[in-house]
Structure 1
Amino acid sequence: MKKVVVALFVAVLALGLAACGQKKDYEIGLVTDVGTINDKSFNQGAWEGVEQYAEEHKISYKYYQPDTKSTEDYVKSIEVAIKNGAKIVVTPGFLFENAIWLVQDKYPAVKFIILDGAPHNVTDFGAIAPGDETTIDGDTTGKNANFEIGANVYSIFYSEEQSGFLAGYAAVKEGFTKLGFMGGMSVPAVVRFGYGFVQGANYAASQMTGVTVTIKYEYLNSFAPDAAHQTKAASWYTSGTEVIFVAAGGAGNSVMKAAEGIAGKYVIGVDVDQKAESDRVITSAMKELKSSVYNALDEIYNNRQYNSNNQVITTNGKSVTLDASVGGIGLPQDFSRFSKFTKAMYDVIFAEVAAGSITIVNDHKLPVTSLVVPKVTLDVTE
């Protein structure tokens, strides 16, 4: 009898250990750009979209954080996600463009969603020689450049110029006439935010009598918090700047600290609603990251098919640009920190932008000083 009990105990224990050792698959994976899913910015917005869709549809999901901000480690994290069962991998940000180009053909059964970018193998756009299209691995002829979007890639861009336009418009309608723009780096998305901001301020001023606007305009060459950014922002504020639009990721927190130290100074956040970060954030120029990821996942799941090996079949890759007409950008619906600019005013200007009745220049290759903005005086630091 004792032998039977012992045998049963050993069998149960073995089953228990086997169950504990079973590898759990996570069907949706998100790889951060080194930051965390609580960064109050790009990673968090994308993660919230994954989380909402997965929870609603009872799908397993997990996020992965690379060791370094490098293509090599992005690829490693993507491959870890795939080994853990990911059929869809979400990558938030243009820093993943080279990584997605490397994995899209290697893993044809996996669907990749990349935000703010599209796959390519160009590693240094800044080294482009005059007249050449691209540079890669020292080639200045552009012959080796490849911008092919794999059949399993869903590339999502946003009309940042429209979001920036709405922020600039709201600021001037609120009564601010001394504005600032601090961009992280002069990458296309950030440039479009800034150009839109300038044009929105000009458009609002043109609707008002006797109003002209001054905008200090500079790139910080950084997306990270830094005491130097706080010092710079404080100097802008003390010299008269009333509100600064910071399209610079985590560097925005440094500007918020500067605003908090001086009475009557404000910040416009970026990418997501950053109101909770500081009571000086009056609004944010948002990309609807959460809803765009949610909708992309929904589209993939509703249209996917499987072959006999239970692999996902995709018919073609795609790249989309989400604008106001599809709710891809906008300001938060909370206008409580404004005293003059109202939701009714916002709804009117948003409808005009969505309808395309306002021309907003978005060519990031043009210098900001080339914008036709007669109601704005630009103070640009190159």
Structure 2
Amino acid sequence: MKMRLLNVISLVLMTFTLAGCGKGIDIAFITDMGTVYDGSFNQGTYEGVLKYTEETGKTCKVYEPDGVTSDEYLKNIKQAVKDGAEVVVCPGYLFEETIYKAQNKYPKVEFILVDGQPHNADGSDYTVEDNTMPIVFSEEQAGFLAGYAAVRDGNTELGFMGGTNQDSVIRFGYGFVQGADYAAIEMGTNVSIRYCYANTFLESDDVKSMTSAWYKGGTQVIFACGGAMGKSVFAAAEENGGKAIGVDIDQSSVSETIITSAKKELGNAVYQGLANYYDGTFTGGTLYEMDAANAGVGLEMDNARFTSFTREEYDTVFARLVSGGIVPYRATDYGNTSDLELVSTEVYYMELKRNEE
């Protein structure tokens, strides 16, 4: 009996070692910064990997780099390959230069880059090799839906706090502005939006302080678009009776102040990429775009906390995006809304005030 018990314990330990220590792993997941369970981008992407491994029995190991540099990312990719990874999943634009290098250095490894395009250091070459699948999203559409819903729900004083002024965040922000303006025109009202970039995707006392001041100054709802940085906005909302909009995944469980989230179907995109690899239909070398038409972006409605905005209104405006009846402006420069041709919305740009050390 004792020998049988020891054999069972040994078997459990062997299984744990395989999954936990990465020996003979199939899939590697490398976070861009912070932890995998960040309640936002890393987590939303990883959930797709987790779903696939649970359904298929494939093994996966999570790697959390010590720093946010290309060298640190490459070090983790090297370790993942050494551990036996066939597929490496990397979430976010911070991996763009890294994957540009890694796709050539490890030609027998498949890379799934979520929300980014491989490119060299000066941005002059965006070559995607056959072993790489970059997936990008139409953030301007998700942002448009968030702005539209916020105004249709009765809010006219809005805020946008972005992580950094990089492309995907800018698209979220200006989509938000355009959606708010579209709804304002429909309703015959005027909207004002306080607009700022925090220059961080991490929690920040400065972000909490600034957004608290916004709420106290009349802002009703703030779109928090920047990973874990959003937790600082949600904390400010909780303390000041404000409302917030989450990003990337359904963040309704993070705070009761969150009325909806502008979602990218991160998990579904990664799940499909992994399925394609293992069923032999993986086609790298091509940029995959996820938008409203292929259900790649949208608003969280099942767990929404709107006062008056309805599912019927949402379905109607979503259908217009799918059909091309509404086409939010996609490419614009930071700090310039002149191309957006706003009619009923004023945007006020602000710099984040940082507390002295």
TM-score by length of 2: 0.90
The equivalent of 2:272 in structure 1 is 295
Runs of 4+ in 1 over 6 A off after TM superposition: 19-23
The equivalent of 2:345 in structure 1 is 376
Give the drift of 1:368.
Answer: 2.4
- Matched residues in 2 for 1:336 and 1:104: separation? 40
1:263-278 equivalences in 2 (<5 Å) = 263=241, 265-278=242-255
The equivalent of 2:212 in structure 1 is 234
- Matched residues in 2 for 1:79 and 1:344: separation? 49
The amino acid that maps onto 1:172 is: V
Unaligned stretches of 5+ residues in structure 1: 1-11, 124-133, 135-144, 305-313
Contact 2:36 2:64 in 1 (8 A): no
Give the drift of 1:373.
Answer: 1.2
- Matched residues in 1 for 2:238 and 2:289: separation? 35
2:319 to 324, 348, 351: 351
The equivalent of 2:102 in structure 1 is 103
The equivalent of 1:39 in structure 2 is 38
Give the drift of 1:333.
Answer: 2.7
- Whichever of the two has the greater Rg, that structure is 1
The equivalent of 2:301 in structure 1 is 333
The amino acid that maps onto 1:373 is: L
TM-score by length of 1: 0.84
Contact 2:113 2:135 in 1 (8 A): yes
Contact 2:160 2:194 in 1 (8 A): yes
- Matched residues in 1 for 2:326 and 2:125: separation? 34
1:218 aligns with 2:188: no
- Matched residues in 1 for 2:180 and 2:27: separation? 41
Give the drift of 1:247.
Answer: 0.8
The amino acid that maps onto 2:250 is: D
Identity of aligned residues (%): 43
Unaligned stretches of 5+ residues in structure 2: 1-6, 352-357
**1:92-150 Cα distance to aligned partner (Å, 9 max, x none):** 00101111111111111110000111111215xxxxxxxxxx5xxxxxxxxxx432111
1:150 to 129, 140, 143: 129
1:79 aligns with 2:56: no
Give the drift of 1:330.
Answer: 0.6
**1:301-348 Cα distance to aligned partner (Å, 9 max, x none):** 2225xxxxxxxxx76511111100001111113254112001111111
Give the drift of 1:50.
Answer: 0.4
The amino acid that maps onto 2:272 is: N
The equivalent of 2:226 in structure 1 is 248
Contact 1:181 1:244 in 2 (8 A): yes
- Matched residues in 1 for 2:304 and 2:277: separation? 37
The equivalent of 1:112 in structure 2 is 111
The equivalent of 1:307 in structure 2 is none
- Matched residues in 2 for 1:339 and 1:146: separation? 48
Question: Residues 223 and 325 (structure 1 numbering): CA distance in 2 closer, same or farther, change over 3 Å?
Answer: same
Contact 1:183 1:218 in 2 (8 A): yes
Give the drift of 1:43.
Answer: 0.8
**SS of the residue 1:104 aligns to:** helix
Contact 1:369 1:378 in 2 (8 A): no
Contact 1:222 1:248 in 2 (8 A): yes
1:52 aligns with 2:51: yes
**SS of the residue 1:81 aligns to:** helix
Give the drift of 1:59.
Answer: 1.1
**1:52-104 Cα distance to aligned partner (Å, 9 max, x none):** 01111121111111111111110111111111111110000010111111111
- Matched residues in 2 for 1:247 and 1:325: separation? 23
